[in-house]
Amino acid sequence: MMHLSKLLHSRGFHITFVNTEYNHRRLVRSQGPESVKGLTDFRFETIPDGLPLSDRNVTQYVPLLGDSTRKNSLAPLVALLHRLNSMPGVPPVSYVISDGLMSFGIEAAKEVGVPEVQFWTASACSFMGYLHYRELIKRGIFPFKD
């Protein structure tokens, strides 16, 4: 998503890269504070993921993260979009591009009246697993038995 943001920025788009607070802290730790200083037309913002605070520098447990963001991140994202739309000297939000696992981006875009598109940032195999996960549970294939 960062590569896409940089590409769009290079074509003249004003970008606000929104990350969870946890992943933003990990980015700062790995790349340094200068990496997120931003420009007037490329800024970084954060929203909570709804999980307890942690200083551990590890990838979060993805199923728990996905469940938590679906339940807790819509309101903070909508509030952020409204705040961005009211900032003087900043163009209004015109589009939301979100990760396919962050489906709350669809509803947030609807609430502020802008188009939204989702990108699946993982592998095709991962995408197919995600699409068929409920069917695997229904057939008793997953979760694996002892």
Q: Which CATH superfamily is domain 1-139 in?
A: Glycogen Phosphorylase B; (3.40.50.2000)
Candidates 25, 37, 72; CA nearest to 51 is 72
Which residue ranges make up each domain of the chain?
A: 1-139
Candidates 80, 84, 74; CA nearest to 105 is 74
Tell me the pLDDT of the chain averaged across its residues: 85
Dump pLDDT digits (tens) for 38-80: 677 888 898 987 776 665 655 655 677 777 788 889 999 999 9
Dist CA 118 CA 106 (whole Å): 8
Residue 127's alpha-carbon distances to 5, 123, 124, 134, in angstroms, are 22, 6, 5, 13
Q: What is the pTM of this model?
A: 0.77
Dist CA 18 CA 144 (whole Å): 35
**Does the structure show a pLDDT above 90 at 117?**
yes
Structure tokens at 141: 């294939």
Dump pLDDT digits (tens) for 96-113: 999 887 889 999 999 999
Structure tokens at 10: 């290079």
